[in-house]
């Protein structure tokens, strides 16, 4: 089963994402509350997919994305962004993000994006 790293500074958002993916049969989750923690977690566990928030304290999602992609050019990263962050999403795609999910997300969109990226 795929290892999924969920990165968001809001514990509630991490829980919601995890619960939605559990309903679809995913079982192996890791969490990080900021970009710095995400980069460290990525190095330690090499997840199959990273769901990465853009706006976070300590290190934002764009900086974390750059560091993760520097570690692994094949890293599968999907950005999670709030409405109105279109410019940041475009930048994230230029930096190597495979897709993005706009928050508040629809569970169907989350699941479809995860399945597309993982090839399920």
| Domain range annotation of the chain | 3-118
The pTM for the full model equals 0.94
pLDDT surpasses 80 at 114: yes
81 and 36 Cβ atoms separated by less than 8 Å: no
Identify which has the larger pLDDT, 86 or 71. 71
Fold of the CATH domain 3-118: Rossmann fold (3.40.50)
Residues in the chain: 120
Ramachandran angles phi, psi of 27, nearest 5°: -130, -20
Q: Residues 16-38: pLDDT tens digits?
A: 999 999 999 999 999 999 999 99
Confidence tier at 86 by pLDDT (50, 70, 90): confident
pLDDT of 65 reads: 96
Q: Listing from the earlier edge strand, what are the strands of the sheet with 77-82?
A: 28-32, 3-7, 49-53, 77-82, 99-103
């Amino acid at each position: 089963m795929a290892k999924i790293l969920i990165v968001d500074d809001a514990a509630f958002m991490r829980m919601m994402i995890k619960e939605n993916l559990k309903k679809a049969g995913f079982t192996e989750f890791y969490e990080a509350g900021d970009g710095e923690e995400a980069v460290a977690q990525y190095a330690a566990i090499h997840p199959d997919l990273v769901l990465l928030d853009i706006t976070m304290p300590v290190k934002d999602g764009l900086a974390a994305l750059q560091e993760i992609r520097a570690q692994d050019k094949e890293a599968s990263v999907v950005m999670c962004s709030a409405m109105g962050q279109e410019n940041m999403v475009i930048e994230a795609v230029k930096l190597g993000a495979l897709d993005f999910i706009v928050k508040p997300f629809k569970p169907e969109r989350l699941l479809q994006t995860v399945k597309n990226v993982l090839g399920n």
